[in-house]
Structure 1
Amino acid sequence: MQKVDCLIVGGGIVGVAVARHLQATFSHLKCLLVEKENTLAKHQTGHNSGVIHAGIYYKTGSLKAKLCIAGLKRTYEYCDTNHIPYKKCGKLIVAVERDQLGRLENIYRQAIQNGVQDVKLLDSNQIRELEPNCRGIQAIHSPHTGIVDYGLLCRHFGKSFEQLGGRIALNFEAEKFLSSGDATYPILVKSKTNSTFLSRYVITCGGLQADQLAIACGGSKNPTIVPFRGDYLVLKSNRDELKINGNIYPVPDPRFPFLGVHFTPRMDGSIWLGPNAVLSMKREGYGLFDISIKDTVDLALNGGLRKLAWKNMSYGINEMRRAYSLSATVRELQKFVPSVTVNDVERGPSGIRAQALSDDGNLVEDFVFETVNTGDLKDLILHVRNAPSPAATSSIPIADMIVAKAKECFNL
């Protein structure tokens, strides 16, 4: 049976960044990353919008704001050093109605306080100079917001981890964490196919499966992970005059839990439009009609979810309507780019967001860590139960923070 010093569960960008930083910091340790799929970045990392966020939206002084500001800088530095392509295409947050101007001004002041570089307020003429097809009353321009292929970045983290001496085991779905009876390697990690590893310590970065991994070790049921699917449309490439240069975002409405539709350029030259945000009946179900009986039953029994749904009933109905109606989504997009029509779009990919939810029906927006605190595995397993958006942008400083937490928990 193979023995390792630290086993990291989860091949998304946070898990791989953690593995890489852990191996770099403690070069004497024998580290292993396990991933249940046959490749890294299979789920959230490989299905997100690809935006490198600048830290505009997050409360001044918050951990999310600080990590995002640092994450943008360090992501660009890593990409430059390792020749990973990206584009600083910028971002406009556009007010299209007068009652949004106060919120836009507040966001602008917050961006300045957060230290977001070179943000400016633009009038309607300046908006058109940057985005000739976009219409708005006023906008925030963030020139350093960019785009990257996070799947590519994650896999590069994986290669770096291996070059530092780490190992990656794909097709290993960690299911059980048991006491091995071995004083040196006390944790027996067992997969669904009965493959096993012995480890001194474990860190889980399970994303969509984060709560399930914690529960498998005897951890709390809360917060639960609720999967929200976001469906994108794609702008057809047969209308050259309908050009989008950078990200175009709405002014967020604090009454609702998600951001709303936006225009997102991609590294391959395509333009994604959306997404909506609808409850997914399957944690890893990317199709409109994907369903899992187990996941559906879990959602039906989730009291926190019922409270969230009741508070946001009208919003949820609207999002469901846009999931099945191209014209409903296009009407939202036309508020920013009036010339876009239903004939200009087609259905694109979907992603699933792992949203942590408390039992009182509130979305958990901060990081949640949990250690096994009873039995033979006490203080030997660290669960990252929630690494909120923008986790991809912030993955490098998030990894620093998690490794520091692991050092403290494990007395490394």
Structure 2
Amino acid sequence: MMFENTLAFARKLDAEDPLKNYREQFYIPQQNGKEVIYFCGNSLGLQPKSVRKLVEEELEKWQNLAVEGHFTGDNPWFTYHKQFKEPVARLVGALPHEVIVMNNLTTNLHLMLVSFYQPSGKRIKIITEKGAFPSDQYALESQVRYHGHNPDEVIIELAPREGECTLRTEDIISTIEQHSQELALVMMGGLNYYTGQVFDMQAITDAGHKAGAYVGFDLAHAAGNIMLDLHAWQVDFAVWCTYKYLNSSPGGVAGAFIHEKHAANTQLPRFAGWWGHREEERFQMKKGFIPIYGADGWQLANAPILLMAAHKAALAIFDEVGMEAVSRKSKKLTGYLEYMLKSNPVMEKRIQIITPENPAERGSQLSLLVKEGGKQLFEAISAAGVIADWREPNAIRVAPAPLYNSFEEVFRFHEILSGHLR
């Protein structure tokens, strides 16, 4: 659509926005008695107002029922995790038995790597993107060392072409093909945290499988942000946190996906836990682990109920809105932000948008590469009431979230930013 650089136009977009009322379901931080412009949902989402009630319900149950809360009352703790199956499956494009809410992201990533990184013979190499989030880098490095190999020799890092900031799909595919005889795993972020680039996960998965490798993704910055179709894409595994776009509390519980083609494969290596054992025999306390069918078979322990209650509140909003509606507004909101930045000639001299222009290759984030004085600029807009995210060495990540951010906030952000670039 055709955008305009006026406050009246931004307010017109807000008036027409079908999701505008969802902002009222979140607490907006304040600075000097005024609501901030919170463009940091890609780092920590805002608190839904419904969280307190659901957490307090579980606190009361603990207070009044103690251990009996595992088996009595509404949503007994023993089966609490099961209520997330359907909504999480809709969120990431999966079947209910392919998803599980458990642990934290890096724990889940290690659990997946135990199963899906099995170097053997010449097939020992891993392909990932250069500059992946540290959680991914450290997990891959330590798993490679655990198997007795040198990460510098085993991990192949995909880097953009000289003079470019993002990866080309054809370069990813050609690298997979080049190493097809020695490749064990392709493991990348579904969306690069620094540049905001969304990778073509289906094409990467197809190429990885053709090469004889497993394929998995870290969806920390993708879940709740972009449309996902993990089952149809035939992805082997995926992991994600829930505290960014999913607004499910700081350090909240995480999620995992294991494709159903692996659901009954008891020969896959895994680190087993009591809660992943066959449910009907769990309290018989027998030796000999027998995994539950599907993603549940990767569980280690019973659910962290208070964190799960917070996730329940946040997930209910997403399930009511639907990812298609979230994605539609995301494209419009981010597109308006891009238009505003590019319409300013001063901006172009100081800032480069390194996130892809193609809406299909990005979510609710633009990464702004500041050519000089980046940290000072970030501190100045922070003092003016903008909460964004600084990432070394010189990027400001700006993430307007569809559920609680407005087009007027985009307009105001541009005013503040341009005021410090004159």
Larger proportion of strand: 1
TM-score by length of 2: 0.25
